[in-house]
């Protein structure tokens, strides 16, 4: 009988400590601007490595969970199911239990990618659309209630208006329930305020954020936020902000309107308010921007919240023309107002929300990495 042939892997000769370092590095999603992950799961490598062994799984999970990108409705559902599974593991005292909450540092929740995929879907009757929306909202609210402790513990959160509405409603309901129990007679929130950076997706100039009316008086979520960012609606507003990035228009009209709409009474820790938009050089291929997308730098306009709040009517917005900010540089136009352009580029398309790659790769953070 011939002896069994065994394949020999070069990795088998390495010490376990070195192997774990390799696995940790391989498990981290790159979120590269060049990586075509619209139809590819950026976490696929990490998910496969989790199947190697329990030791490998426990080692790579913190890096795997550091940045959570939920771009579709079913992604929110899958993450909620994963949290429920961990709860079951905890009750069974299983070795597979892992607490996701402290591991998640950055979280993105938005369904815009679903909308772009369904742009050419078949039309439905008005009644069908309303019924489908109703049942989807029920399911989404349930899933968001499961995610809520993780969301409120994440230092950096990016969310669209729809999901932010659910977060505020659920936090308010939890606070109201807690205030009626003996465990929380003071009525203070049962959640600790850990979210320092909040970005709201698709904040159109022509849209008023009436979701702010859902904020609970006991909200520690809004009270803890230090940096608030609006990611503009690319389809509606990017051409308007082109004039701002090219130095021929003042940001006063759109930005001051958004800031007046903020719930200042609840945002006790707010330090900066920012708007992020494409840095569109002139001339540029408008047709490519609309249909195929362009590799563009990103500009971040930042306002000192403290200085604005002192005297909103006379905040020094500056008047055009003023110098254009070059890629990789920052200019301060007046006290409390600055412009900063990223050194790197991201792929942006006007008619589809594509901020996720820019965020995941760090291009729209509160402090732009130069």
Dist. CA 251–CA 299, nearest whole Å: 13
The predicted pLDDT at position 347 comes to: 85
pLDDT average, residue stretch 20-38:
70
pLDDT at 115 over 70: no
Dist. CA 145–CA 178, nearest whole Å: 15
The predicted pLDDT at position 227 comes to: 95
Strand extents, DSSP E, the chain: 67-70, 106-109, 156-160, 197-201, 227-231, 272-279, 294-304, 330-334, 337-341, 346-348
pLDDT at 197 over 90: yes
Better pLDDT: 87 or 172: 87
Dist. CA 139–CA 121, nearest whole Å: 22
pLDDT tier at 236, thresholds 50, 70, 90: confident
DSSP assignment string, 102-127: TT--EEEE--HHHHHHTTTPPP--HH
pLDDT average, residue stretch 251-278:
91
Dist. CA 230–CA 239, nearest whole Å: 16
pLDDT tier at 20, thresholds 50, 70, 90: confident
Q: What percent of the chain has pLDDT over 70?
A: 81
pLDDT tier at 129, thresholds 50, 70, 90: very low
Token digits of residue 77: 């559902």
Orientation angle between helical segments 126-153 and 161-179, nearest 10 degrees: 60
pLDDT average, residue stretch 129-154:
82
Token digits of residue 285: 């291929």
DSSP assignment string, 218-244: T-HHHHH--EEEEE--HHHHHHHHHHH
Beta-carbon contacts of 83 under 8 Å, excluding residues fewer than 6 positions away, are 100, 146, 147, 150
Domain boundaries, the chain: 14-29+37-65, 67-118+126-225
Dist. CA 280–CA 238, nearest whole Å: 9
Q: Specify which residues 2 forms β-bridges with.
A: none
Cα dist. 248→33, 241, 251, 313, 320 in Å? 30, 10, 10, 22, 5
Helix, coil or strand: residue 201? strand
DSSP assignment string, 285-328: -HHHHHHT-EEEEEEEEEEEHHHHHH-GGG-----S--PPPPTT
Flag the least confident range among 20-34, 69-83, 115-129: 115-129
pLDDT tier at 304, thresholds 50, 70, 90: very high
Dist. CA 296–CA 275, nearest whole Å: 16
Better pLDDT: 64 or 153: 153
Dist. CA 332–CA 158, nearest whole Å: 26
Dist. CA 323–CA 352, nearest whole Å: 30
């Amino acid at each position: 009988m011939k002896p069994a042939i065994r394949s020999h892997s070069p990795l088998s000769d390495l010490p376990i400590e070195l192997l774990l370092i390799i696995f940790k590095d391989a498990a981290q999603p790159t979120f590269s601007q060049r990586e075509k992950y619209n139809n590819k799961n950026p976490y696929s490598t990490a998910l496969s490595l989790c199947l190697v062994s329990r030791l490998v799984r426990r080692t790579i999970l913190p890096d795997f969970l550091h940045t959570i990108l939920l771009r579709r409705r079913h992604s929110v559902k899958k993450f909620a199911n994963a949290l429920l599974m961990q709860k079951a593991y905890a009750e069974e005292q299983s070795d597979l239990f892992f607490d996701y909450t402290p591991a998640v540092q950055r979280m993105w929740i938005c369904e815009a990618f679903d909308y772009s995929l369904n742009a050419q879907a078949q039309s439905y009757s008005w009644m069908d659309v309303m019924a489908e929306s109703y049942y989807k909202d029920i399911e989404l609210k349930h899933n968001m209630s499961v995610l809520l402790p993780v969301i409120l513990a994440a230092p950096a959160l990016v969310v669209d208006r729809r999901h932010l509405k659910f977060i505020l409603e659920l936090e308010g309901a939890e606070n109201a329930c807690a205030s009626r129990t003996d465990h929380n007679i003071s009525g203070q929130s049962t959640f600790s305020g850990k979210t320092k950076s909040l970005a709201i997706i698709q904040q159109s100039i022509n849209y008023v954020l009436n979701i702010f009316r859902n904020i609970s008086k006991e909200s520690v979520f809004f009270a803890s936020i230090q940096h608030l960012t609006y990611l503009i609606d690319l389809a509606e507003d990017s051409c308007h902000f082109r004039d701002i990035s090219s130095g021929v228009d003042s940001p006063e009209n759109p930005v001051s309107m958004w800031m007046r709409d903020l719930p200042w009474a609840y945002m006790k820790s707010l330090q900066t308010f920012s708007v992020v938009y494409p840095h569109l050089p002139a001339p540029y291929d408008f047709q490519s921007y609309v249909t195929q997308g362009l590799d563009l730098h990103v500009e971040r306009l930042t306002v000192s919240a403290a200085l604005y709040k002192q005297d909103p009517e006379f905040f020094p917005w500056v008047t055009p023309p003023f110098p254009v900010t070059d890629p990789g540089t920052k200019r301060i136009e007046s006290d409390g107002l600055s412009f900063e352009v990223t050194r790197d580029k991201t792929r942006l398309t006007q008619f589809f929300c594509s901020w996720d790659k820019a965020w995941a790769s760090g291009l729209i953070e509160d402090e732009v990495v130069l």
